[in-house]
Structure formats: C-alpha cells, structure tokens
Chain A
C-alpha cells in the first residue's frame, strides 16, 4: 500500500493516510463537503416547512373522505398543512404505540382505539365516533360465479378469497367475526389470502387474483368497473363497523387536531361522508 505523508485531511491535521492513485485525490477531498451540504439541505428543508403541520394516521377505507374534508380544513386555515399516513388500523395503532409523531388517529374499529386508550396514548375526552360502515362481499366484474350469499363461498369454484389480515386489519376482523357467527370460518379457512389493508383486498379482487373479497360498502367506488357487489353479510353477524377518531397523546397540535375532529362531526363533514356512502354515527359519544 502506498502511503502519503502530510496530506491535509478533512479535520485539517496532517495524518498518515493510505491514498488512491493521485488523479483521484482532489475530487475525493471535496465530495464529503458537497455530500454533507446536500444532506443538510435535503433533511433540513421538510422540517422547516411543516411548522404548522397536522399528521393524521387514517384507516385506509377513510382515505378519500378524510382527504376531501382535509381540503376544506386547510382552505379556512392558511399556513396549515396536513400530512396523511394511510394504512390498516392495527398497523397505524402499532406505529403510535412505537412513538410515531402522529396528531390524530382515525381507526376503522373501536378495538384499536380502545387499546390506545387503555395505554393512555390518546388525549382523554377527545375521542368521538363520526361514521359507520357495513361489510360487503365483492367479486370481479367479469365473474360468472353465482355468489349471492355467504354459503356460496364454500363452493369449489371459489378457490381463493381475500380478507384483511385479522391480526391487524379491522375489515378482516369483522369478516372473521361474521364468518364465525355464520359457522363458515373453518370451512373457508384454506381459501383465504390475507391483505395488509382493506384496499389491498379490493385490489386482489379487481385484478381477478381471487374469486371474492370482504371489503366495506364504501370501497368499491374507488375501483369502479372492476369489481361488483355480490352480497352483504347479515348485519347481525358482526359488530357494527364504527369509525372512532381521537387526538393522540403528546401531540403538539392538539387544538388543531380537535378542530379537525369538530369538522368531521360538523354538518359539512357529515354531508361529505354521506355522499361517499358512509353512515352517520348511531349515537355520538
């Protein structure tokens, strides 16, 4: 190995350093500073821009509705920016438990919100239920299978069906509950393909990879023309699908978060939700 003596290093002190062939020396010394500069610019920029930002972790079935209401929210507040984090409610819950910097959590089931509440991770008294939904079984539009009720899912032509992963996805938990109540869970078990959120289930059906899938009544509108309704599982077979929302404990924007929740419950917010097919909350808490 060749060794150069007295080459000024980045720290300024002369040191004994191994060196590459001489033509490479000059650019090598400069690049670290350029890199550091680029990093500072890249990392610094977004933190400076989101001074008045509200981060919302939202159950993905609420994506379009919350985005729509969010646009109205920022219209009346200049300088406020919303950052969305969409996913399965269980996944979002775990992120909050792990300390994700989230201000508002919108869940597709009470279970995940209850967990956070027991752990003291939501602001007491900020929790409200703002919408309801229903389960729906969809099939690809070009499906020729006669699926008109839960029992039809057991026919051999239905090789695979998608549900949300019951470990983390509320739509999957409701689907499991419904199928267990109907006594079909064990018979169908080998057909399941798990989606990491309800929209992935919808996508599997839209792509024709599965013969049927359990989604919410409001989901098919996002994949128009690719999926069609097969049937609605009986309402009595599963816990009513309710959407709770709350301000996450430790939020720096708790007032802004409460204002967003107010907007969800306001006439404006409820109208927007109704237009997308969501049902009003049975009783507001």
Chain B
C-alpha cells in the first residue's frame, strides 16, 4: 500500500470515528425526543434528520456549502471573525460524514427506544425517578443494542461518505482525501492496483460492520 493510500485509510477511520462520536452526542438525544416526546416542531426535526438519507449526497453537500462556505450563512460571519473557514479542512469531511450518517443512527435508535416497554418507565417514575434519570437508567440501557447497532451503521456510512465530502472538503491528498475519494482518484488516473487495495480494505471493514450490527440485532430480540 502506498503512503497516500495509507494516509487515506488513516484519515477515513479518524473522520468516521469523530463523526460517529458527534452523532452519538447529537443523535441519541434526538432519537429519544422523537420517540418519547410530542412537541410542535417534531415533524420538522424528523424531516430535517431524515432528508440526508433521501436526498442525493451532492444536494446535501450543496446545502452544506451554502451554510458553511466562506460566503455561507454561518461560514461568512465565522470567516470574518476568525479568518478561518471549515471548507477544505478535515473538519469539513467530519461534518459531511456526520450529517450523512445521522439519519441511520436516529432511525435505528428511535425504533429501539420506541420498543421499550412504557410500563417499565412508569414504574421508574412511581419510584421517584425524574424523567432524565429514567431515560439514562431505564430506557437507554433497555434500548442499548438498537442504539449500538445505529452507531455501527452510522460509522459505516461515515466511512463510505463520498459526495457531500467531495463538495465540502474537496479532494486534497493527505488532508481531505478519504478512502472513497482516493478510490475515485485512483480509478480516474488509471492506478487500478491502488484502487483495488483500497476497495478490498473498505469491503473488509464493511463486512465486519455488517457482522457486528447483525450480532447486536439478534441479541436485541
């Protein structure tokens, strides 16, 4: 494996790991809210979280540019304040991967939380637990396998993210070239053997992920 491929692999794993972490922080509370709470903007939250799953990644990438680009709604004030912009950095790859992977975690975790017996939660309430403690000590532990399966799927999706990453983070060797982008470049430039190595690596990781998710799924039932 060439140094470039190795760096792409390292970067991919790092990006996917951070994106999954970000997803855990944002996605699990979101899944809980959608599963257990009724509030006015619920349909909107549900829609926004699900959209990246349905939209072509390039469309999501375009929205991210409009939002975070140096002239974007959030990107412009940030650039004026700090002189720094997220585009073409590895943070951009993390953001793109996180946004694309979020629906997978939220949907899986939400289904798991919804299947937790509400009587157990009510029992916790009668024993004096606050809703917060009930969620942390009763609901989420009971939904653990579903949530973990969601995280595994989110990691896999983040690892394979291509379209939105290319648009927001570009394709800069050593900095934002993740494995899918490296495969694309390798095929474009006729470096077939290099592409093959990366394809094999990514296929192997994906198989492990499917296996893990499957095991978590069977233990959940």
Q: Please give the residue numbers on chain A whose beta carbons come within 8 Å of chain B beta carbons, in ascending order.
A: 90-91, 94, 97, 160, 165, 167-168, 192-194, 196, 207-210
Contact = CB atoms under 8 A, between A and B. Distances in A.
A167 B70 contact: no
B64 to A, nearest CB: 12
Contact of A168 (B65, B69, B85, B188): B188
Contact of A167 (B65, B87, B170, B189): B189
Nearest to A95: B188
Contact of B188 (A94, A160, A193, A208): A94
B14 interface: no
Interface in B127-146: none
A207 B69 contact: yes
Nearest to B177: A194
Where chain A touches its partner, the secondary structure class is loop
Interface of B: 65, 69-71, 85, 87-88, 170-173, 185, 187-190
A207 B188 contact: no
Contacts of B185: 165, 167
A168 B185 CA distance: 9
A24 B172 CA distance: 51
A97 B190 contact: yes
A197 to B, nearest CB: 11
Given A160-B88, A194-B172, A208-B71, 16 more contacts: A91-B188, A94-B188, A94-B189, A165-B171, A167-B189, A168-B188, A168-B189, A193-B88, A193-B172, A194-B170, A207-B65, A207-B71, A208-B69, A208-B70, A209-B70, A210-B88
Contacts of B88: 160, 193, 209-210
Nearest to B169: A193
A209 B185 CA distance: 22
Nearest to A87: B188
Nearest to B166: A196
B172 A192 contact: yes
Nearest to A167: B189
Contacts of B173: 194
B172 A94 contact: no
Contacts of B172: 192-194
Contacts of A167: 185, 188-189
Contacts of A97: 190
A141 to B, nearest CB: 12
Contacts of A209: 69-70, 85, 87-88
Contacts of A160: 88
Contacts of A208: 69-71
B181 to A, nearest CB: 10
Contacts of B65: 207
B170 A193 contact: yes
B186 to A, nearest CB: 10
A90 B185 CA distance: 11
A209 B170 CA distance: 11
B170 to A, nearest CB: 5
Contacts of A210: 88
A90 to B, nearest CB: 7
Contacts of A207: 65, 69-71
A107 to B, nearest CB: 15
